[in-house]
Structure 1
Amino acid sequence: MTTSQRESHASPSAVVNQPPAHRRWVMLALGTAAQTAACAFVYGMPYLIPSLRSAEGLTLAQAGVMVACPTVGLLLALYAWGAATDRYGERWVLAGGLGLATAALVGAQAAHGLVVLGLLFAVAGAAGASVSAASGRVVLGWFPPERRGLAMGVRQTSTPLGMLVAAVAVPPISAAHGLPGAVLFVAVLSGVMAVLTALFVVDPPRPAPTAKQKDEKPASPYRGATLWRIHGASALMVWPQFTVGAFGLVYLTDVRHWPAVAAGQLMACGQALAAVCRIAAGRWSDAVGSRLRPMRWLAGAVAVLGAVLAAAGDSAVGVVLLIVLTGLSASTNGLSFTSVAELAGPGWAGRALAVQNTGQNLTASLCPPAVGALITAAGFGSAFAVAAGCALASIAVLPPRVPTTD
């Protein structure tokens, strides 16, 4: 498909004049950095478990509840932030949400007790949800259709980057300065990005409404099943991603008998591969003028690799398959987000991305306990086989075509 053909299928936001290239990349950098800062807290909470247990005297189960609090807050607030983004724009939603998250984390730095800390962490997670709803719109609004896949692929590296920042920084800071020092670190990250987004983020241009559009609300893109099918397929792809991400290290230590440090280093390589795969998948989708075709092929590859890994047992090839699967299972994330935003259009993109995030985070919350129980009952092979089945099911759930890109 040629560039002109791709543009003919673009969403309404693509018809406005595009800005200078350097401004687009500044917006991409700011959106990625803002999401990385939010992810460092929300998904970096497990690295606070030793400090939570020693400083607050929590049991492992209580510490696990604390780890879940930011995600609970995020899930409850995502749609509201998406609606605010659609109505008021991206800049102040980003800055306001990050500012509120900073305030909650500063409060948590001086707080004590399971209830008070849990509430503050939940508030910080709910405030940080603004980034998930708004930063994707910033990226997609500034980039033309033939560059959106690459741009969203870069932006979606923020999740592994945030986890990497937390993994590298939180344990030594906790060891040196305790729980308050670690919480202050993520608060500073959030505060810095609140200031930078307030100063430098510019809301992307939106098409001027027609006289009829001024009198009518944008039609809901949820009147058909297409968006719901993309949401469902992307949620299914989260299952293999979190199966290998959450239990890959355990597989290496318990099945392959690797030292924990070496296993952690290898899984870090897998996360780096995941970031590269997201960027490459986005670029591929731009080149072929489709988001869903690459998603189908990648989901098929994940299904095949998961099935082979399930059959590999404790053989050495399982290590290679595990790391490749860690990268590929994360590769479709940016494709689904881009397709959702393009299909929803500028009037609904914030809410649609919020629904997309909600489905993915619900799956991410359900996957670890369910997979842990499955591994305990039936072994790693069964868990990898279920992951392969979810990837295969996502292909069937995906719609055959969408009018914006395919």
Structure 2
Amino acid sequence: MARRWLILVVGVVAQATTSSFLYGLPFLIPELRASHGVSLTEAGLLVSAPLLGLLCALVAWGAAADRYGERLVMAAGLLANGVLLAAALFLPGLVLFGCGLLLAGAAGASVNAASGRVVLGWFSARERGLAMGLRQTAQPLGLGLAAATLPVLGERFGAVVALALPAGLCVLAGVLVLVVVVDPPRPPRPAVTSSPYRAGPRATLLRLHAASALLVGPQFVAATFAVTFLVSERGWSPVDAGRLVAVVQVVGAAGRIVAGVWSDRVGNRLGPMRVIAVLALVTMVAWSVGDVLGSWLAVAGLVAALVVSVTDNGLGFTATAELAGPFWAGRALGVQNTGQNAVAMVAAPAFGALITAFGYPVALAVAAVFPLAGAVLTPVAGERRLAAGVDAVEVEVRP
């Protein structure tokens, strides 16, 4: 079906628009601190609010996608996200504003749960790494869009005007989903579907969820504090720092595609994922050491961390859906994304507090522990055993 590529494009657009809001708020931290006088820790709590909403709603949205289809779930969530975010902009006080962001984040969780599922449903196993790699470019592209626009709009017009952009884009994306997306065909549903969390892949799935969650650590430390680090520690302007991050996000998006093609070529997802985890460890150490030395290595390590730390996401998502099977993929992807966003939600306030108390070098050294543990936990051998036919749960292959 030729239309599957158009559906893939719309899935990328939908995810990018919600990502520009969910993960783009940190680019407004300098403006929030300057105009509202919030501390770095308070700003970290505020930007974590939509991630808390996302965290609470992912599994429910995934179950809805398993039952009712991806098109309806994605469109409803996008439209609600845009409306709720627009409404939050008019709420008085930071507490109510944060509550509005939380509700908008919960609505945006629909896209995280369903857009990956619809892509996986339309592509066969030999193309799935490439397809999901393309789909996973959405987050860095959304971050790039946020980095290129939010600091400029925030500096000139304030945070309210800046956030009106992703609100409007979410509504437009919801309409696009309704017009273009078609749910992939599914095999007849058996009377009883066995949970993959009770079957043979259980240990492999749980280790995969844990490893993927840990690998989010360096990704969100880099994304959350990149602009703030360059402004406060290197004397850059917020606009210049945002431009650098925007360009780097495009490179990170390309890295996700390369990782997906790599996994298709080698016939597994988790071997490449472990290699990327080791590289993420190296980048965080380089950033920390460079900051201690006050050298160019700090910016180079930051840039490398922004690129490398995002490239594993598509591999973890693809492996999760393949292990879970067609009737549990939405829920399994919801669990996968819940673990990742739990770490992401904690990362901003926790590392904001660490940086405030001990400085960037110590905080970055702590962040380096996450990819180290993720590399150890990545269940490469478990995936290979299942691929060889031992207790494998097969995903339906689409034409």
Alpha-carbon displacement from aligned partner over 1:263-294 (angstroms, at most 9, x marks no partner): 44433333222112111111100111110011
Q: Give the superposed CA RMSD.
A: 2.8
- Return the letter of the residue paired with 2:382: R
Counterpart check, 1:401 vs 2:382: yes
Residues 281, 50 of structure 1: alpha-carbon distance in 2 compared, 3 angstrom cutoff: closer
Distance in 2 between residues matched to 1:248 and 1:30, nearest whole Å:
29
Q: 1:48-127 maps to which residues of 2 (within 5 A)? A: 59-60=38-39, 65-127=45-107
How many residues end up aligned between the 2 structures?
Answer: 380
Q: Determine the structure 1 residue equivalent to 2:197.
A: 222
In the TM superposition, what is the alpha-carbon distance from 1:243 to its structure 2 partner? 2.7
In the TM superposition, what is the alpha-carbon distance from 1:251 to its structure 2 partner? 4.7
Counterpart check, 1:266 vs 2:244: yes
In the TM superposition, what is the alpha-carbon distance from 1:53 to its structure 2 partner? 7.7
Distance in 1 between residues matched to 2:47 and 2:233, nearest whole Å:
27
Q: 1:130-169 maps to which residues of 2 (within 5 A)? A: 130-169=110-149
TM-score (normalised: structure 1): 0.84
Match of 2:212 among 221, 234, 240: 234
Distance in 2 between residues matched to 1:235 and 1:51, nearest whole Å:
29
Gaps of 5+ in 1: 1-19
Residues 102, 276 of structure 1: alpha-carbon distance in 2 compared, 3 angstrom cutoff: same
- Bigger Cα displacement from structure 2, 161-170 vs 231-240: 161-170
Q: Is the 8 A contact 1:256 1:314 kept in 2?
A: no
Q: Determine the structure 2 residue equivalent to 1:304.
A: 282
Alpha-carbon displacement from aligned partner over 1:141-193 (angstroms, at most 9, x marks no partner): 11111111111111112112212222333344456665554443222211111
Alpha-carbon displacement from aligned partner over 1:86-145 (angstroms, at most 9, x marks no partner): 111101001111122233234334443445433332221111110000000011111111
SS at match of 1:331: coil
Q: 1:1-400 maps to which residues of 2 (within 5 A)? A: 20=1, 22-47=2-27, 59-60=38-39, 65-174=45-154, 181-209=161-189, 213=190, 215-216=191-192, 218-223=193-198, 224-252=202-230, 261-312=239-290, 313-399=293-379, 400=381
Q: Is the 8 A contact 1:108 1:183 kept in 2?
A: no
- Return the letter of the residue paired with 2:110: S
Distance in 2 between residues matched to 1:92 and 1:314, nearest whole Å:
51
Distance in 2 between residues matched to 1:372 and 1:179, nearest whole Å:
20
Gaps of 5+ in 2: 389-399
Distance in 2 between residues matched to 1:141 and 1:292, nearest whole Å:
20
Distance in 2 between residues matched to 1:278 and 1:366, nearest whole Å:
24
Residues 68, 258 of structure 1: alpha-carbon distance in 2 compared, 3 angstrom cutoff: closer
Q: Determine the structure 2 residue equivalent to 1:4.
A: none
Distance in 1 between residues matched to 2:361 and 2:42, nearest whole Å:
30
Alpha-carbon displacement from aligned partner over 1:176-212 (angstroms, at most 9, x marks no partner): 6655544432222111111111121111121234xxx
- Return the letter of the residue paired with 1:227: L
In the TM superposition, what is the alpha-carbon distance from 1:65 to its structure 2 partner? 4.5
SS at match of 1:346: coil
In the TM superposition, what is the alpha-carbon distance from 1:354 to its structure 2 partner? 0.9
In the TM superposition, what is the alpha-carbon distance from 1:80 to its structure 2 partner? 0.7
Q: Is the 8 A contact 1:342 1:404 kept in 2?
A: no
Residues 310, 201 of structure 1: alpha-carbon distance in 2 compared, 3 angstrom cutoff: same
- Return the letter of the residue paired with 1:222: Y
Q: Is the 8 A contact 2:45 2:349 kept in 1?
A: no
- Percent same amino acid at aligned positions? 48
Q: Is the 8 A contact 1:292 1:401 kept in 2?
A: no
- Return the letter of the residue paired with 2:262: W
- Return the letter of the residue paired with 2:272: P
Distance in 2 between residues matched to 1:170 and 1:318, nearest whole Å:
24
Alpha-carbon displacement from aligned partner over 1:336-380 (angstroms, at most 9, x marks no partner): 011011111111111111111111111112223333344445444
Distance in 2 between residues matched to 1:298 and 1:49, nearest whole Å:
29
